[in-house]
Structure 1
Amino acid sequence: MPEGHTIHRLAARHRELFGGGRVAVSSPQGRFAAGAALVDGREFAGAEAYGKHLLHRYDGGLWVHVHLGLYGKVSDGALPAPAPVGQVRMRMAGDAHWLDLRGPTACEVFDQQQVGELIARLGADPLRGDSENPREQVLRSARPVFALLLDQSIVAGCGLIYANEVLFRAGVAPTTPGREVAPERWDAMWTDLRELMREGVVKGWIDTVHTAHTPEAMRRAPRVDRHGGEVYVYRRPGQPCHVCGTAVARGELAARNLFWCPSCQRPDRPSPPAARRARTSR
């Protein structure tokens, strides 16, 4: 499932392609036909991202809410648009560009009240300037901090890669209850998460390793993975930790895949080398 940085990139892209112009909206597949008819021909007033939710704003107070889920994909290009191929849920066409949406979990028309209700259900988005650090929610909770990072009502937009990686970079065991995380440690993690996700928006992929641990610096082969980017623990079970050499562990927590270094993220290790390097080498 795309993480928040991808949705923010899409929102920026759609503002660039369609902002301020009138767009034709249709549903070649047919499943969004009624919704498409409500916004077809209206001015595209903007696009926003909140967590993993994409919101297209139209004149007249209407919005199209999109959640890509596991299988949703967006493609675009210069006009003329090609003939629809496959299950195109929504097609947009402006003066010079087209956009196709396939396989989303949600594609629906909202009014302003429904948008407000959606946002009210979501937690703080690390990529939005109007979101505050959810410190109190985390530090009062008995739930594992890994689960709290993935709870979209607490941290909107953080997915598996960022959750696993930011915990490693902080030297925090993923099973640590939120209420046992020191306030300054959480604040540092929140700041690190925001910076990593901002980099993801710029690059279009997730990189979490420090300069000292890049393939060039360590003289190792680059990571080969469809998600791209260099990481410390995510999807690296059994491979040596880039910091200490311990085999990366894999498990399941909150029904999600968990990866961690048993040495750098020991529960009884308040300030491991990984955490010190995270604060100084990036």
Structure 2
Amino acid sequence: MKEAKKTLAIVGCGKLADIVVDALLSGVLDDYQLIGSYSRTFEKAQKLAERINKEEIGYRCDAYESISEIIALKPDYIVESAAPVALRELALPALKNGSSIVTLSIGALADEEFYNQVQETAKKHGTRVHLVSGSIGGFDVLRTASLMGDCEITFDTEKSPKSLRSTSVYESALETDAKKVFSGNAKQAIALFPTKVNVAVAASLASVGPENIKVSVTSVPDYIGDDHRIEIKNEEVHAIVDVYSKTSKIAGWSVVNTLRNITSPIVF
């Protein structure tokens, strides 16, 4: 007897959500069916749903105007690709209602109180929160090395000044001169860059915690994409994970990989 497909909903209908739909329509996520979409801009949610519906693949996806409507659907999994504020609104009620979450907005979990609330709620209701790797990797070695004992970890990012224009650190001189615009820990970094350093928080949660990881952000003129370099050391292990990505597409595909791992008999 063929097992029923897992139901899926998406919160945040931008380019990364489009990648998840691409994977659904191409058969890469054949264990799932997308039943609901939500975006702050309703037209984006409609457009995403229409991509599913026009294919006539045996089920329907509907667009919704609120996160509460998505939660009421009780999908098996909710993919969150919006922003940390969306995860804060979504997480606790969705987990209580029986939906597990696959999230890119890991920065919200730098708040220890919220992290603990999410953890306890998921445990109590038999649900889970899957933190995807986004534009980095190496969660396995970070977690393993940190379990072995005391370790030090640094997270250094290079970005273009263009990507920093909406932040308080931006100045016109960044267009011509390289400059380290931030040095601190992951909790401080996500407070300053709410949508720019989710990956730093992810690396910290996989290892020493948001307040114990050393984070730096450097602006480089004419730079394209992002480069994230993670280094972890203890008495027995020295590992470096350095990932460059030209665009944010890797983050969308990391969601696809996580969803495949959830249902696969062999997990990477």
Shorter chain as denominator, the TM-score bin is under 0.3
TM-score (norm 2): 0.28
Query: Larger strand proportion, structure 1 or 2?
Result: 2
Higher Cα radius of gyration: 1
TM-score by length of 1: 0.27
- Larger helix fraction of residues: 2
